[in-house]
Amino acid sequence: MSTIVIQDCTVVQQPDEFRLNVLAHHDIWVRGQIIESVVPTGHRDASHADQAIPAAGLIAMPGLINTHAHVAMVLFRGLAEDVAFRPWFNDYIWPLEHNLTERDVHMGSLIGMAESLMGGVTTVNDHYFNMDEAAHAVAALGIRAMLGWAVFGSGGATMLKRAEQFALEWRGAASGRILTAMAPHAPYTCSDDFLRASAKIAQRHALPIHIHAAETLEQTQASLQRTGLTPIQVLERTGVLSAQTILAHACGVMDGDLERIAASGAGVSQCTKTYLKLGMEVAPVVAMRQAGIPVGVGTDGAASNNTLDVWESMRLMALIQKQQAHSGEAMPIAQVIYAATRGGAHALGLGDCLGALEPGFLADLILLDLGALHHQPLHDIGASLVYNTQPAEVHTVIVDGRVVVQNRRLLTLDIGPVLAEASAARQRLSRRGQERIQTYSD
């Protein structure tokens, strides 16, 4: 079992969401896939390591966790601009997705996951179609991912069975880096019976469920008019809401919904840039945390975000929560970093092994170079991480004890040919016909 020592870095640790400990001149020892120790520089003899990574002047922190994304949608970035929520689905995205091929998903997954790694994301929770292709991309690139094959109720039992087969075939693959989930799209695109069937499959196989829920207040009000229940209550009634559930968005929650989510143990992913861009409500993250709900940071897809930049998403989340609370004290720096790392791990049900630079945790970590002018003078590392950092400042990325990005260079794939293929397919990918994979209605 190989050993890596990362030498003389500044380590950012978080014992909880309220504290940020910054340890100067420390070494991180990694044995196999696990962080073995974090000790003052020179405390252990570096000659005993199989690989030494000089890191003087660099900041070490846990890799970022993107808790909700549609990774292959990078193929559609820039194709649905300046439109409202409903036409974004009906006139743009779902007609565009009608033309997707398996090869497109593979190509988009490679590009999106490469972008993620280069930006310091070591785990992504991906909810999309043709997910065998996404799994192959995860295996090739060396990232960690939770993958769910998105299914609509209109797909019926056949698609639900395909999603189940995928989850069982790929769970634990790529040396354990691939986790799988059931991924019914949303309460407004899946009948109660379809949701119940999804929940039963998840329970039978101990699989998580990754689902969009209560994206807007309009959706919640429509659900109340149609069923007398909020979307969160629908998920509770159908057995979907549980400790293994990841709710994307939950911006349209109402009185009582937070208590139900908290009691279930479910996690929530916040994708603030998408909400701002599509003119949606923004979820009450501060109230969610006060209720004890695990909250992670997500990007959503690049068709609504334009990037897979978790740094930007966490920054926007913090700023909007402060603005909503009319208080600069809301969503302090430690809580923001926690949400993008350990909090995200808790939201995915992995808080006991992922998201922290501590002995016994998985060796998913990043090294950052904060030497640029916009960090100087560097009074507060936490403040720079939240409010200043850009993806290009990610210097080194280690996932599962393996170096996958070094000196800002992706080691696991030559992305050039994939980018050329995507560029050549631009005209086809941007074609919108009359057919769509689904029709949006609240």
Q: Look up residue 331 and give its amino acid.
A: M
Q: What is the pLDDT of residues 137-171, one digit of tens each?
A: 999 999 999 999 999 999 999 999 999 999 999 99
Question: What pLDDT, on the 0 to 100 scale, is given for residue 173?
Answer: 98
- Sign, CA dihedral 244-248-249-250, equals negative
Cis peptide leading into 377, omega within 30 of 0? yes
Question: What pLDDT, on the 0 to 100 scale, is given for residue 211?
Answer: 98
Domain with CATH 2.30.40.10 in the chain: 3-62+356-409
DSSP string, 38-94: EEETTSS-GGGSSEEEE-TT-EEEEPEEEEEE-GGGGGGTTSS-S--HHHIIIIIIH
Residues 23 and 353: beta-carbon distance below 8 Å: no
- Tokens 């929650």 belong to 253
**Rounded CA separation 302/247 (Å):** 19
Average pLDDT, the chain: 96
64-347: CATH number? 3.20.20.140
DSSP string, 359-407: TTSB--EEEE---SGGG-S-S-HHHHHHHT--GGGEEEEEETTEEEEET
What's the CATH fold of domain 3-62+356-409?
Urease, subunit C; domain 1 (2.30.40)
Taking CA 116 as the corner, what is the angle to CA 213 and CA 313, rounded to the nearest 5 degrees? 50
DSSP 175: T
pTM over 0.95: yes
| Partners of 409 in beta bridges | 406
Domain with CATH 3.20.20.140 in the chain: 64-347
**Rounded CA separation 6/20 (Å):** 20
Q: How many CB atoms lie within 10 A of CB 352?
A: 11
Distance between terminal CA atoms of the chain? 53
Residues 213 and 253: beta-carbon distance below 8 Å: no
Question: What pLDDT, on the 0 to 100 scale, is given for residue 433?
Answer: 81
Q: What is the pLDDT of residues 362-384, one digit of tens each?
A: 999 999 999 999 999 999 999 99
315: helix, coil or strand? helix
DSSP 302: H
Proportion of the chain above pLDDT 70, given as a percent: 100
Residue, of 435 and 113, whose pLDDT is higher: 113
In terms of phi and psi (left: phi > 0; alpha: psi -120 to 50; beta: otherwise), the region of 406 is beta
Question: What pLDDT, on the 0 to 100 scale, is given for residue 24?
Answer: 98
Question: What pLDDT, on the 0 to 100 scale, is given for residue 436?
Answer: 87
Residues 108 and 418: beta-carbon distance below 8 Å: no
Q: How confident is the model at residue 1 (pLDDT cuts 50, 70, 90)?
A: confident
DSSP 144: E
> Stretch 426-439: mean pLDDT, rounded?
88
> Stretch 421-432: mean pLDDT, rounded?
94
**Rounded CA separation 303/74 (Å):** 7
Question: What pLDDT, on the 0 to 100 scale, is given for residue 353?
Answer: 97
Q: How many CB atoms lie within 10 A of CB 414?
A: 8
Residues 64 and 365: beta-carbon distance below 8 Å: no
Residue, of 99 and 419, whose pLDDT is higher: 419
Question: What pLDDT, on the 0 to 100 scale, is given for residue 242?
Answer: 95
Q: What is the pLDDT of residues 268-313, one digit of tens each?
A: 999 999 999 999 999 999 999 999 999 999 999 999 999 999 999 9
